[in-house]
């Protein structure tokens, strides 16, 4: 139980283990379709490898089998321990000093109790049950993840875990603009994010190299602007039905989709599609390189804001989540005055459609609207305007490029990725604290963290796997686990135990020399 990633808020190990067998049933309350879906999801994970039928039945379980309880209080005996917290005892197996057992579960927390007769997961909401299921997976042998029958045995160690997240926003970003990823590839990535209790999928849907979402009022954006990608490949775009499917699938894994339309820069695909969006009325050619900062919507034209209004309106109608991301980074071809003018006009369009503005942290240099969120991607946390905006009420998502950017090379020999923010080894990506990273910003301003995967050099899902793992779980832990649990020496042991699980899942990962991976 002390090897779970992200580290739970509190852990008590001990007592009899539970063995999943041919007669095990998954019990769900009869009055909740949502919990039934979590039970069906769990059964779909466990059946192929165990070979057991694992029927999902609508009853309270009677203290036997795997029991999912919604809004129920379940208790475990004894005092809890904070998994991975600092301890002077090297024999403590990663567990730390006793902590208060009264962890408030909230919308995403859960309590998991394992005895000789049952595994019980209780939560206030179904999202918590789903996160508890991810923990249960890690308590089983790694071969549970295989899609063919394995030998077992399937024992869950005894004890109690009580768990809830540190931050409400824990994101992963996939850039589908530099290289296009199909719906199936995005859904595979969603499954990987869900393993580590990530709850936001940020899709970077537009950039200089490609426009990836169909907009009825501006059809050439996808048809023409989406026809290529970095290197000149065929590109691609999502129909509205495709996008709805991604949203649906993400919701089934308790992730919220955060769509981004980057403006006013990073817009060459749009400018190439519609000449009137350019100040000179001339459409530039499509772009397949990797330079940044050369494009800009025409801030002085009324058509620019009709464009922004219609695009954001159609995207808002497709997106049930609360956020619309309007980019705002690297607008080097836009004067500061024009940038401020643009953001002052576009932010109210987001709120008009009932959504919350997210922009890259350059938004702090304009006039963030009430409730706006700035996504920080700098490297040293010293930008005074970001701290000042946070003090004035702007909330922050932390994605420092030299810590959280998954496209940064691990070292000089990494075959993929970039190094403009430096090399980012696994320890670098783990050893930082969102609460203190922005100098002078109040800790309460931090909404959460996000790990972006930019795809200038990422072409396939295998490429994405290699750059995402093993760094993503560390960002997930920073977002989920109590700050007191963040200790590299304990974490690297827990992380190493994930390696066989990734292999079983078909995830090819970077075997960092900083991590004591199991041999064989």
Residue 477 makes CB contacts below 8 A (sequence gap 6+) with: 5, 6, 7, 196, 430, 485, 486, 491
User: Considering only 56-60, 163-167, 259-263, which range has the smallest mean pLDDT?
Assistant: 56-60
- What is the per-residue pLDDT for 322? 98
- What is the per-residue pLDDT for 75? 61
pLDDT digits (tens, 9 = 90+) for 98-152: 334 568 999 999 999 999 999 999 999 999 999 999 999 999 999 999 999 999 9
- What is the per-residue pLDDT for 77? 43
Q: How far apart are CA 17 and CA 157, in angstroms?
A: 4
Q: What percent of the chain has pLDDT over 90?
A: 92
Contact call for residues 180 and 236 (beta carbons, < 8 A): yes
- What is the per-residue pLDDT for 97? 31
What is the helix, strand, coil percentage profile of the chain, to 5?
35, 20, 45
Contact call for residues 57 and 26 (beta carbons, < 8 A): yes
Q: How far apart are CA 256 and CA 249, in angstroms?
A: 10
Contact call for residues 66 and 24 (beta carbons, < 8 A): yes
The DSSP-derived string for 27-87 is EE-TT-HHHHHHHHHHHHHHHHHH-----EEES-GGG-EEEEEES-----SS-EEEET---
- What is the per-residue pLDDT for 72? 56
Residue 343 scores a pLDDT above 80: yes
User: Considering only 100-104, 269-273, 380-384, which range has the smallest mean pLDDT?
Assistant: 100-104
Q: What is the mean pLDDT of residues 8-20?
A: 97
Assign 73 a pLDDT band (cuts: 50, 70, 90).
Answer: low
Pairing mode of beta strands 169-175, 446-453: parallel
In angstroms, the Cα distances linking 308 to 23, 89, 105, 282 are: 57, 58, 40, 19
Find how far residue 319's CA is from the centre of its chain: 17
Assign 61 a pLDDT band (cuts: 50, 70, 90).
Answer: confident
Catalytic status, residue 330 = yes
Token pair belonging to 43: 């059964």
Contact call for residues 5 and 493 (beta carbons, < 8 A): no
Residue 82 scores a pLDDT above 60: no
Q: Interhelix angle for 240-252 vs 302-318, to 10°?
A: 50
- Phi first, then psi, for residue 514 (nearest 5°) are -80, -10
In angstroms, the Cα distances linking 171 to 114, 223, 237, 257 are: 30, 29, 22, 10
Contact call for residues 474 and 404 (beta carbons, < 8 A): no
Q: What percent of the chain has pLDDT over 70?
A: 94
Helix (H, G, I), strand (E, B) or coil at 10: strand
User: Per the residue annotation, which of 34, 187, 245, 330 is the catalytic one?
Assistant: 330
Query: To the nearest whole number, what is the mean pLDDT of the chain?
Result: 94
More confident residue, 414 or 87: 414
Residue 297 scores a pLDDT above 60: yes
- What is the per-residue pLDDT for 71? 87
Contact call for residues 80 and 101 (beta carbons, < 8 A): yes
Contact call for residues 231 and 288 (beta carbons, < 8 A): yes
- What is the per-residue pLDDT for 520? 67
- What is the per-residue pLDDT for 92? 31
Residue 266 scores a pLDDT above 80: yes
* Count of residues in the chain: 520
Give residue for tokens 């930019």: 454
Residue 187 scores a pLDDT above 60: yes
Residue 93 scores a pLDDT above 70: no
Residue 190 scores a pLDDT above 50: yes
Helices marked H in 405-481 — which ranges?
Answer: 426-430, 434-437, 461-468, 471-480
Q: What is the mean pLDDT of residues 445-470?
A: 98
């Amino acid at each position: 139980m002390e090897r779970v990633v992200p580290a739970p808020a509190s852990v008590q190990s001990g007592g009899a283990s539970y063995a999943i067998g041919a007669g095990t049933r998954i019990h769900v309350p009869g009055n909740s379709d949502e919990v039934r879906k979590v039970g069906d999801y769990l059964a779909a994970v466990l059946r192929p490898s165990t070979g057991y039928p694992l029927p999902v039945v609508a009853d309270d379980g009677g203290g036997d089998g795997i029991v999912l309880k919604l809004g129920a209080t379940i208790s475990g005996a004894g005092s809890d321990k904070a998994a991975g917290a600092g301890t002077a005892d090297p024999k403590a197996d990663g567990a730390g000093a006793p902590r208060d057992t009264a962890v408030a579960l909230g919308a995403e927390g859960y309590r998991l109790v394992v005895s000789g007769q049952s595994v019980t997961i209780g939560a206030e909401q179904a999202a918590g049950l789903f996160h508890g299921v991810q923990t249960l997976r890690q308590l089983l042998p790694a071969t549970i993840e295989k899609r063919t029958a394995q030998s077992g045995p399937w024992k869950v160690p005894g004890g109690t875990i009580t768990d809830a997240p540190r931050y409400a926003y824990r994101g992963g970003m996939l850039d589908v603009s530099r290289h296009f990823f199909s719906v199936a590839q995005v859904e595979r990535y969603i499954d990987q994010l869900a393993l580590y209790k990530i709850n936001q999928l940020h899709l970077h849907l537009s950039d200089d190299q490609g426009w990836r979402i169909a907009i009825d009022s501006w059809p050439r954006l996808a048809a023409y602007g989406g026809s290529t990608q970095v290197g000149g490949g065929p590109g691609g775009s999502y129909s509205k039905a495709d996008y709805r499917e991604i949203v649906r699938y993400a919701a089934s894994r308790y992730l919220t989709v955060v769509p981004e339309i980057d403006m006013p820069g990073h817009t060459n695909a749009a400018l190439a599609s519609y000449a009137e969006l350019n100040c000179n009325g001339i459409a530039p050619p499509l772009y397949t390189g990797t330079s940044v900062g050369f494009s800009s919507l025409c801030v002085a034209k009324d058509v620019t804001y009709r464009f922004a209004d219609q695009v954001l309106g159609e995207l808002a109608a497709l997106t049930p989540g609360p956020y619309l991301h309007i980019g705002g980074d690297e607008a080097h071809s836009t004067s500061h005055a024009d940038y401020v003018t643009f953001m002052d006009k576009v932010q109210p369009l987001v709120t008009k459609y009932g959504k919350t503005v997210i922009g890259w942290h350059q938004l702090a240099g304009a006039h963030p609207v009430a409730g706006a969120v700035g996504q920080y991607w700098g490297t040293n946390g010293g930008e005074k305007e970001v701290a000042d905006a946070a003090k004035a009420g702007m909330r922050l998502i932390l994605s420092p490029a030299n810590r959280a950017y998954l496209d940064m090379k691990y070292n000089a020999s990494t075959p993929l990725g970039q190094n403009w923010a430096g090399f980012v080894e696994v320890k670098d990506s783990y050893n930082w604290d969102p609460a203190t990273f922005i100098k002078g910003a109040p800790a309460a301003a931090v909404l959460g963290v996000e790990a972006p995967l930019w795809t200038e050099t990422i072409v396939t899902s295998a490429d994405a796997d290699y750059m995402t793992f093993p760094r993503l779980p560390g960002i997930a832990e920073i977002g989920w686990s109590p700050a007191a649990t963040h200790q590299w020496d304990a974490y690297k042991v827990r992380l190493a135990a994930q390696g066989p699980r990734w292999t079983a899942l078909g995830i090819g990962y970077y075997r960092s020399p900083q991590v004591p991976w199991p041999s064989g």
